[in-house]
Amino acid sequence: MDVGAAVHLHLAGKADIDRTIGSAASLGLKVLRWDAPWADVERSPGKLAVPENWDYAVDQARAKGIRLLLILDYGNKYYDGGKKPKSPTAVAAFARYANFVATHFAGRVSFYETWNEWNSTTGGDRPGRAEDYIKLARATYPAIKRGDPASCVIVGSFVDYLKPNDGLQNLLDSAPADYGDAIGLHPYVMNGSQLKNNPNGFKELLSHLVNSIKKSGWANKPVTITEIGWHTDQDYRNGITEDQQTSYLSSALRTAASLGIKMTILYELVDEPQNKGPEGHFGLLRGDMSMKSSGQMVKSRKW
C-alpha cells in the first residue's frame, strides 16, 4: 500500500514548495495530494491558465520520486454563483477546466480526484446531492481521460458515511466505468460519528465500507483513502495527544493494508498554525517543520 499526505501548495511560493516536498521525501511518502482549484485556472470567463507555481511543485515532487494527486475542485464565480456546479453550463465548464489541467500535466500527474467532499460544506457551499455529483463526475471523467489517458481518476471522497443519504450507496449503485477508475474514501470517525473516535471505530467503519464496495459494481476497482487523520489540539473536541495520534495512525494504516486499500493519504503533512482550532493540528510535522512522533512512525514505516 502506498502512503502519502495532503499538502497545501496551490498558493505556495518556491521556498515553501521546496521545504514541503523535501520534508515529504524525507518521510518516504509516495504521493502528495493537493487542491488544484478551478478558480485559480479560469480567472476570467473562457480563459484558462495553469499557475506557474503548480508546474514548479509538480516537477519538484517528481524529481524526488513522489507521485501527485490533484484535486479538481470548488466553485468558480463565473458559473452558478461560485457554488457547486450543477447547471449544464457550469458542468460543461468544469469539465473543460478538468481537461485543460489533465492535458497540461499529461505524463506528470498520476491521479486526479473529482471534487473533495461534495456532501459537506467544504468549498463554502451547502452539502451537495449525490445525484448531482454523479452528473458532474460523468462529464469530468472523459474530459480528464482525453487530456491524459494514463491518469487514474478517483471519485467519491464523501464524508459522514453513516448519516442518512450520505451518497455512497448512490455511487455504488451506478456504473463506475462511466466516471471513475478508483473510489476514494474519507473514513473519519470524529465530529458526531456514530462510531468511537479511535482505531476500533475506524476499523469498524472501513470494514463496513469495503464490504459494501465488494458487493457493488465497483468490486473490481481499486479502493483508496484520500484523507484520514486525527488532530492534536486538545483544547478542542476530539483532540488527542501526539502519542495517541501516532498510535491511531499506525493502527489505521495496518487496518487499511489488511483490507486491500491501494493507497492511503494522511491528513496532513504539516500543521497549519494560521488555522486556529482542530484544522491546524492534523500534521505529521508541526508548523515549524519539527517532527511529531507520527512523522517518525511514517518515516520508519513501523505501522
| DSSP 8-state code for residue 28 | T
Q: Cα separation of 238 and 233, whole Å?
A: 8
pLDDT at 193: 64
289: left (phi over 0), alpha (psi -120 to 50) or beta: left
Which H/E stretch holds residue 180? none
pLDDT at 273: 78
pLDDT at 10: 96
Which residues of the chain are modeled with pLDDT < 70?
Answer: 192-193
pLDDT at 80: 97
For the whole model, what pTM was predicted? 0.96
Q: Cα separation of 229 and 245, whole Å?
A: 8
Could you read off the pLDDT of 88-138 as tens digits, one per residue? 999 999 999 999 999 999 999 999 999 999 999 998 899 999 999 999 999
What domain range is 213 assigned to? 2-300
pLDDT at 237: 81
Q: Cα separation of 185 and 117, whole Å?
A: 9
Size of the chain, expressed as the number of residues it contains: 303
Q: Cα separation of 147 and 125, whole Å?
A: 28
Query: Total domain count for the chain?
Result: 1
pLDDT at 61: 98
CATH number for the domain spanning 42: value is 3.20.20.80
Q: Cβ neighbours of residue 159 under 8 Å, at least 6 residues apart?
A: 117, 119, 120, 166, 186, 188
